[in-house]
Amino acid sequence: MGISYDPTKGLFHLRSPGSSYVLQVLETGLVAHVFWGGALRQPVELGRIAPQLFGEAPATPVLGEAPYPRLSLDLLPQEYPAYGRTDFREPAYQVALDDGSTVTDLRYQSHQIYPGKRPLVGLPATFVERGEDAESLDLTLADEHAGLEVVLTYTVYRELNVVTRSARFTNKGSRRLRLLRAFSGSVDFPDDRFELLQLSGAWARERHLWRRPLVPGIQAIGSTRGASSHHQNPFLALLRPETDEHHGHAYGFSLVYSGSFLAQAEVNHYGQTRVAMGIHPLNFSWLLEPGEIFQTPELILVYSDRGLNGLSQTFHDLFRRFLLRGPYRDRPRPVLLNSWEATYFNFTEERLLELAREAQALGMELFVLDDGWFGRRNDDTSSLGDWEANKAKLPRGLKGLGEAVNDLGLAFGLWVEPEMVSPDSDLYRAHPDWCLHVPGRSRSLGRNQLVLDLTREEVRRFIVDRIGAILRSAPIAYVKWDMNRYMTEVGSAGLPPERQQETAHRYILGLYQVLEELTEAFPHVLFEGCAGGGGRFDPGILYYMPQIWTSDDTDAVERLKIQYGTSIVYPLVTMGAHVSAAPNHQVGRVTPLATRGDVALFGNMGYELDVTRLDPEEKAAIQAQVVRYKRLRALIHRGDFYRLLSPFEGNETAWMVVAKDRREVLLGFYRVLAQPNPRPSRLRLVGLDPALEYELVGQGERWDGDQLMEVGLTVEPYLANTGGDFQSVVLHWRAVGPGKE
Ligand code: DGJ
């Protein structure tokens, strides 16, 4: 592992255990991208893999520079392509000079290789705690005419096939510059034999899988909503057509950012593919006064030669070790009861304590009071911003309720939505200009609310002070941080006209600052991100809040797709997964309680239903589910996740978790619709130790690891014999004795 530099050839080789990333500084100072893929012992030179680049191509302007007078940037694979100098593909960045021109040209100046990884100022990013876990490269490029310096930063991890990238712009000149686009990274591939995988959806059906072949031109996904969105996740992958879950090459791109983004793959006329990702350029520009700096978010690149599942496992390991922070990164996550689907806005302290009492009897560990506890909030039309407990509902305030919950033996958690304001609120009446808005335009509402202007220091102070005061006022061990509308009329009363297009990004920087302050001030609090369910399920949020409410859709069948899709990038420990009532509140479906439990088990399990209205049989079943989850959560949250059968491809879903030492295995199998005379389902497990013998816990049956993987398992005998739709089974094996030869 590490970064090496060969000055005679200008070659940088970024090596991880199973991948190489090679770039080359040409004699002219242009920085070419040479290779990204499987590990090379020696870096290869650009001229070796693409000699045709140095000859002239038809109808293609050339730079005309010695020693390659016929070189055109339109064909050259580049590390950070510019606009306007013979490359007609989309650039990674674009800068306007004060003379109105937008042509720039970056050339190599210097570089520095150093152990570890430096934080990105004001932005979330992957990190290392020990210098030996990663090595980094800062590559300094400059356009002297423009007075522009760009530092490209790369990090490789010692044990993972990961390269992270970001770019830092500095105005080194004496004239204003304006950034019109500043992607976090751009990678050129020499061919286009790829399929594009994306995670797309909508509210209540987030992160469904879509896969399509690349074609000439641009194929893009993105969000212009001011949040990473329910609709598109800041992720894409390129897969070879033959790549499947467990075999083949896969290249993943994930942006550590929670705002509007663009991710695109552009295929040109020679079948070269350029993937670029970063802040969405629509309605973005950033003024750089002399001396000012702009830092892009981080882009994570993951390479896998073990299919899509290998790609996911690398993301999972990276996020669990080097993105999540705080004591809850490694601590067991509590089983919670959330009040939302149990009571919605309609509750009293007495009613909440009834729920909490029952939750405790069922073995749960945390009671979470959701929306409706503050101001005059009896529906979603008012009070956001008025963060004072509603005395009619909670006569003893949050403190009284929290203590009473604690007395029952449960931790106490609270819902907040600090980024928002209701027009019907004391806060809005006092500060009507504290929301995003544009002078002379009416203010669009989303869920009856407006977005507070987090670009403004006084607004950020208000949030940190108010939420801080609440957290100090009561024994609050958990916070669900919600955000329920996208941005419109994106403008700030706190910014001058020439900086209005900085508003959306400054908002996200403001959000990160608020989250940094609060998570640092309250390290004992477990924060769970939420945005109308999974509207901001991204690595940026995970840096501050180690779990996220995956979706407002709690239906077990819908959750198969949502959790399966989410697992492409995000580890199970990050996914809030609740067992809710039947009929389900989002889709009206009636599923067995066992199936709801079996789906939620593979996540961060909790409950969200009126537990006071369960019959004794249901109570016993939930009690058993909670016991099982507590026994298994370390395995589920720390093990390797494997997807076996996709809910997007058929009636059955299967997935499994294998402990890192391969001595424990957990399988979940789900059949959505019952079939007459069904054909038996055989599953070949993966990731086991072939030489170990595994015992099915509770059943005594023993299997060799190689049998489970090569011969496979017929699922039918293990399915509950009740028939009907929505069947599931969870099987748990433990290795017995030492491994055999
Ligand atoms: C949206 C969230 O996703 C729900 O879980 C719930 O907290 C509601 N907001 C409350 O308004």
Q: What is the pLDDT of residues 228-238, one digit of tens each?
A: 999 999 999 99
Q: Is the pLDDT of residue 627 over 70?
A: yes
Catalytic hit among 105, 317, 552, 610: 552
Neighbours of 327 (CB within 10 A): 11
Catalytic-role residue among 87, 188, 192, 482: 482
What DSSP state is assigned to residue 501?
Answer: G
User: pLDDT tens digits, residue range 132-174?
Assistant: 999 999 999 999 999 999 999 999 999 999 999 999 999 999 9
Q: Please report the pLDDT score of residue 721 as a whole number.
A: 66
Q: What is the mean pLDDT of residues 28-47?
A: 96
491 vs 13: CA distance, rounded Å? 44
Distance 312 CA to ligand 1 centre (A): 28
Q: What is the pLDDT of residues 672-731, one digit of tens each?
A: 999 888 888 899 999 999 999 999 999 999 999 999 999 999 999 998 767 899 999 999
Q: 3-state DSSP: the chain helix, strand, coil percent, rounded to 5?
A: 25, 30, 45
Q: Is 675 helix (H, G, I), strand (E, B) or coil?
A: coil
Chain-centroid distance, C-alpha 677: 41
**What CA–CA distance (Å, rounded) separates 36 from 51?**
18
Residue 298 confidence (pLDDT):
99
Strand partners, 388: none
Locate 622 and state its tokens: 């939930």
Measured between alpha carbons, how far is 448 from 384 in angstroms, rounded to an integer? Answer: 10
pLDDT at 55 over 90: no
Here the tokens at position 54 are 């140095």
- Residue 56's pLDDT band (cuts 50, 70, 90): confident
pLDDT in the model for residue 50: 82
In order, the DSSP letters of 328-392 are: GGTSPPPPEEESHHHHTT---HHHHHHHHHHHHHTT--EEEE-S--BTT-SSTTS-TT--SB-TT
For 35, 79, 531, 628, the CA distances from 48, given in Å and listed in that order, are: 11, 18, 49, 57
Radius of gyration of the chain (CA): 27
Nearest to 589 by CA among 560, 566, 618, 619: 560
State if residue 549 touches ligand 1 by the CB under 6 angstroms criterion.
Answer: yes
pLDDT of residue 48: 87
Closest CA to 646 of 336, 307, 412, 388: 307
If you average pLDDT over every residue of the chain, what do you get?
A: 97
Regarding the beta carbon of 341 and ligand 1, being less than 6 Å apart is answered no
Length of the chain: 741
> Cα of 77 to ligand 1 centre, how many Å?
46
DSSP codes, 520-563: HH-TTSEEEE-BTTBTT-SHHHHHH-SEEE--S---HHHHHHHH
pLDDT confidence of residue 257 = 99
- 716: Cβ contacts below 8 Å, ≥ 6 apart: 678, 680, 681
pLDDT tens across 312-360, in order?
Answer: 999 999 999 999 999 999 999 999 999 999 999 999 999 999 999 999 9
Shortest CA distance to 198 belongs to which of 323, 274, 308? 308
Q: Is the pLDDT of residue 741 over 90?
A: no
C-beta separation of 646 from 658 below 8 A:
no
Atom of ligand 1 nearest to the CA of 380: 11
Q: Report in angstroms the alpha-carbon separations of 266 from 271, 283, 342, 506.
A: 9, 21, 48, 28
**Cβ of 372 less than 6 Å from ligand 1:** no
pLDDT > 70: percent of the chain: 99
Longest CA–CA span in the chain (Å) reads: 84
Ligand 1: centre distance to CA 481 (Å) = 10
Label residue 265 by pLDDT band (50, 70, 90): very high
Question: For residue 52, what pLDDT band results from cuts at 50, 70 and 90?
Answer: confident
| pLDDT confidence tier of residue 527, bands split at 50, 70 and 90 | very high
Let me know if 99 is a catalytic residue: no
Kindly give the number of the ligand 1 atom that is closest to the alpha carbon of 530: 3
Q: Answer yes or no: is the C-beta of 532 below 6 A from any ligand 1 atom.
A: yes
Q: What is the pLDDT of residue 699?
A: 92
pLDDT 10s digits, 65-117 = 999 999 999 999 999 999 999 999 999 999 999 999 999 999 999 999 999 99
How much is the pLDDT for 740?
Answer: 57
Q: Does pLDDT of 738 surpass 90?
A: no
Phi and psi dihedrals of 607, rounded to 5? Answer: -130, 150
For residue 371, indicate whether it is catalytic.
no
Question: Pick from 622, 627, 662, 641: which is nearest to 563 by CA?
Answer: 641
Query: Is the C-beta atom of 576 inside 6 A of ligand 1?
Result: no
Ligand 1 within 6 A of 413 CB?
no
| Per-residue pLDDT tens digits for 554-597 | 999 999 999 999 999 999 999 999 999 999 999 999 999 999 99
Q: Is 551 in the pocket of ligand 1 (CB under 6 A)?
A: no
Q: Which atom in ligand 1 lies closest to the alpha carbon of residue 552?
A: 3
Q: How far is the CA of 531 from the centre of ligand 1 (A)?
A: 8
Question: Residue 385: CB within 6 Å of ligand 1?
Answer: no
Is residue 53's pLDDT more than 90?
no
**Nearest Cα to 338, choosing from 417, 415, 416?**
415
The predicted pLDDT at position 679 comes to 85
- Per-residue pLDDT averaged across 234-243, rounded? 98
Distance from the alpha carbon of residue 60 to the mean position of ligand 1, in angstroms: 54
What's the CA-to-centroid distance between 484 and ligand 1, angstroms? 8
Using the structure block, give the residue that is written with the tokens 């789906």: 599
- Quote the CA–CA distance of 2 and 17 in Å, as a whole number: 9
2: left (phi over 0), alpha (psi -120 to 50) or beta: left
Q: Which two tokens stand for residue 545?
A: 């809040």
202 CB-contact burial (10 Å; exposed 0-12 / middle 13-18 / buried 19+):
exposed
- Tokens for 138, please give them: 């800062």
Q: Is 149 in the pocket of ligand 1 (CB under 6 A)?
A: no
Taking the CB of residue 215, how many other CB atoms lie within 10 A of it? 11
Residue type, 152: L
